[in-house]
Homo-oligomer: A and B are copies of this chain.
Amino acid sequence: MSTTSRKAVVLLSGGLDSMVSAAMAREAGYELYALTIDYNQRHRVEIDAARAIVARLNIGRHVILPLDLRQFGGSALTEDNIAVPKGGGGADIPVTYVPARNLVFLSLTLAWAEALGALDVFIGVNALDYSGYPDCRPEFIAGFTNLASLATKAGADGSSFSVHAPLQYMHKSDIVREAVRLKLDLAMAWSCYDPQPGNQACGLCDSCRLRRAAVAEVGAQDQTIYSMS
């Protein structure tokens, strides 16, 4: 049952956070349009996860947009010769940071929303248990929301966009709990930055570590196969 029939564009990487964010948008009654960016990322296998999530959530329209960020490089996720760190988080912004990625992706989400006549967009950023990326901070999301109206027709007709980041202040364990409450199969979502042969997750990159710790804390079921175990 829809509480509203408003359209929303959800940014769906195929990871745990975007899966839960999209499911929350669906529960809120939005008519969903899912956008996945194929940025030629090291872990492109996450796009298969995005497809499975779209099917599971009955999302009617899914755009998988190729955008080859390897042309720019500058990240372990877009350059094969920069290794993904496996030793656990440090204090600095890690080399898995992709320059301006969330700005680029949110801008594309907004572009599609404007073309559709949608005023709501969802992104699964998280600012508590994350890798310290600058473009996951609440002040970035707030700044983007302000700019959205200047960048589009919305400013001219008095309407404004809402950028929903429902996981922003949640711990990873709370996100796992939310996935369980929403009856989502955790193994459907792909988190690993550095897929191993046979498409197993490495278990040791920051993204695997955050997920594994949260799943263990909650005591949730996650059928993901890790190559190091």
Contacts and interface: CB of A to CB of B under 8 A. Distances in A.
Given A65-B67, A104-B108, A135-B150, 16 more contacts: A63-B71, A69-B111, A71-B112, A72-B116, A74-B115, A97-B153, A98-B111, A100-B107, A100-B151, A103-B107, A103-B111, A104-B107, A134-B151, A137-B150, A140-B147, A143-B146
Nearest to A135: B151
A71 B135 CA distance: 25
Q: How many A residues touch the partner, as a band?
A: 35 or more
7 contacts: A65-B68, A99-B111, A99-B112, A100-B110, A100-B151, A103-B110, A144-B151
A182 interface: no
Given A66-B68, A67-B67, A68-B65, A140 B151 contact: yes
Interface in A125-169: 134-135, 137, 139-140, 143-144, 146-147, 150-153, 155-156
A73 interface: yes
Nearest to A104: B107
B99 A115 contact: yes
Contact of A134 (B73, B107, B112, B153): B153
Copies in the assembly, this chain: 2
B72 A151 contact: no
Contact of A135 (B104, B108, B152): B152
A91 to B, nearest CB: 11
A102 interface: yes
A6 interface: no
A206 to B, nearest CB: 16
Interface of A: 63, 65-69, 71-75, 93, 97-104, 107-108, 110-112, 114-116, 134-135, 137, 139-140, 143-144, 146-147, 150-153, 155-156
A93 B156 CA distance: 9
A147 B107 CA distance: 12
Contacts of A93: 153, 156
Given A107-B107, A115-B73, A151 B67 contact: no
B143 A150 contact: yes
Contact of A139 (B139, B143, B150): B150
